[in-house]
Amino acid sequence: MVQKAKILLVDDRPENLLALEAILSALDQTLVRASSGEEALKALLTDDFAVILLDVQMPGMDGFETAAHIKRRERTRDIPIIFLTAINHGPHHTFRGYAAGAVDYISKPFDPWVLRAKVSVFVDLYMKNCQLREQAALLRLQLDSGQPVADAKEPAGLLAELSARLAAVEEQAEALSKQLDESADAAALATAAHLERKLTGLRRALDALEPGAGNGAGAVPSQS
């Protein structure tokens, strides 16, 4: 059974949280409510989230301050944040949102389909990334222990499976980059470039495990 991704919804108004839940329920993921920045930070201490929808205008700790705390924590700094705001203060206000670490900045009222599509992209990336990490950890454990691979698969076969999973993540990242290109926003494009660099590093590490890579250095040992 595939575990569902968690999406954090942060808004001080219950009716807004209810509306977000209605829009995102079709994604069939776990929706977690937070009615303040403080409550959101508390939720982030114990759970992993695929994406955060964060209201800008909140009493006490507003969205910008909440995002700053999220980005300062090593555990949560890479979680995508989509800012939602009912007030449009122009380009400067929008830039402040991206500077705080948001991957998108959406003014209310927004198109429900567009919001659902954007969130779906980050959920897909999160799920594929989790699958990739699980497979990589399994492969590393089996190779380090010298034990046979589960289900009698050869390491080379598992490497091929990992490569295919990584290719799927790369495809999703490319689709995300194309989507962000349409917005032509420098901060959002920088986020996509950061993700691309991380995927490139994963690809190089995986390639180094291939038999014969680097004149045998780092290659998967053959089984006798």
Residue 47 lies in a domain: yes
Question: Is this structure's pTM higher than 0.85?
Answer: no
* Same structural domain, 164 and 75: no
- Indicate left, alpha or beta for 7 from its phi (over 0: left) and psi (-120 to 50: alpha): beta
Q: Note whether 74 and 159 are same-domain residues.
A: no
Residue 130 domain-assigned?
Answer: yes
pLDDT tens readout for residues 60-75: 898 889 999 999 998 8
The per-residue b/e assignment along 40-77, b for 16 or more CB within 10 angstroms, e otherwise, is bbebbeeeebbbbbbbbebeebbbbebbeebeeeeebe
The position carrying tokens 């890579």 is: 213
Q: Which domain holds residue 111?
A: 6-116
pLDDT at 223: 39
Do residues 12 and 76 share a domain? yes
Question: How many domains does the chain fold into?
Answer: 2
Q: Find the CATH number of the domain harbouring 66.
A: 3.40.50.2300
Mean pLDDT of the chain: 77
Distance of CA 119 to the CA centre of its chain: 10
The answer to the question of residue 221 being in a domain is: no
Judge whether 108 lies within some domain. Answer: yes
Contact indicator for 30, 21 with CB cutoff of 8 Å:
no
Assess whether 84 and 173 both reside in one domain. Answer: no
pLDDT tens-place string over residues 151-210: 444 556 666 767 776 777 777 677 666 666 555 455 556 666 666 777 777 777 777 766
Residue where a domain stops, chosen among 62, 85, 116: 116
Residues 134 and 108 grouped into a single domain: no
